[in-house]
Amino acid sequence: MRPVVIETRQAEGLCPVCHTLQRGSLPEGLEAARRFGPRLEATVVYLQHQQHLGYQRTGQALQDLFSLSLSDGGQACIIARAAEAAAPAAEAIRVQVQQSAVVGCDETGARVDGHTWWQWVFVVSQAIYHVIVTSRGAGVIKAVMGEAKVAVWVSDCWKPQFHAPAERFQICLVHQVRNLQGLLDRCPRLKWAQQMQQFFRSAMHLAKRRETLTATGYALRVQVLERRLDRLLAKQPRPKAAHALFKRYVRYRDRLLVFLYDPRVPFHNNACERALRPSVVHRKVTGGFRSAWGAEAYAALASVIDTAKLQGQQVFATLVALMGTPVLPYLNASARE
């Protein structure tokens, strides 16, 4: 495959009447400011942000696939234009998050200009919003959510998450099962940890069976689980290693089983972890971002890309549409003929 290279010439002349310089008009899609077509720009964004290639490998891929030489500076300009185009779409996604009833949230580390920043993700049923900032505190949630207040906030037990503007909170039970397994690795015979782990698994299993049970049968099983949890938290286990988890479950008793009463609420925040996993891969492959604008660009584009995938849209087609007007649509018509 080889790129189509189009050269434009814009005639100009001095008007003998008004003595002003007049220029001819260029076709739509071939404006003077344009250097690359949207498909090439989308390809660069796709290789860097979806396939996690660095600048050098992206340039090599373009050379091998298209015999196209593109400098690091040219790639950076494309990413900057893509980020500018993605900013309004990312803002619309943030508004969609604010208007949702159930929001899942998580965060992971990011390297920006040699310093540790934090990448936050906010996941709702039809959108995923990313932001990369210097803070891991509750102020990030406040900045993203604004004055909005949601029905349920789903997260791990990171304390700033509990300052989210929500009526109720659901703690990720998958994390709790894993934490209890760590406790059992240290204290294999600790019956309380075994029972607590089995309890969480029973609660998750019941949520999966919700649609197969009658409303009465399901409600009875929920009551049984509530009483079972009360018994498990009635007496603190003796080993000191278990005290931290025991105190956590007593303190956040009302945040353990919210999902059993609201079918919209998951019992985990796996969707958030899946949304952050590509960013962890990107960080390991590229070593992080060299500048703040690069991190902001990645977050905006990740919001657009992840939301497109969540909605069943093709990523490359989404990026092509994002990058603007196609160059000379009649070329495609000529190819079909």
> Are 53 and 47 spatial neighbours (Cβ–Cβ below 8 Å)?
yes
Paired tokens of 279: 């960013």
Q: If you compute the radius of gyration of the chain from its CA atoms, what whole number of angstroms results? A: 26
Provide the 10 A C-beta neighbour count for residue 66.
Answer: 14
Kindly tell me if the per-residue pLDDT of 270 is higher than 80: yes
Question: pLDDT grade, residue 3 (50/70/90)?
Answer: confident
pLDDT of the residue at 27: 76
CA–CA dist 286, 49 (Å, integer) = 11
pLDDT in tens, 147-204: 999 999 999 999 999 999 999 999 999 999 999 999 999 999 999 999 999 999 999 9
Sign of the CA dihedral with 300 first, then 93, 120, and 179 last: negative
In terms of pLDDT, which residue wins out, 248 or 11? 248
pLDDT of the residue at 335: 47
CA–CA dist 27, 31 (Å, integer) = 7
CA angle 134, 137, 140 (to 5 degrees): 70
CA–CA dist 89, 276 (Å, integer) = 19
**Residue 153 in 3-state DSSP?**
strand
Task: Please choose, from the candidates 233, 170, 181, the residue with its C-alpha nearest in 3D space to the C-alpha of residue 207.
Answer: 170
pLDDT of the residue at 168: 98
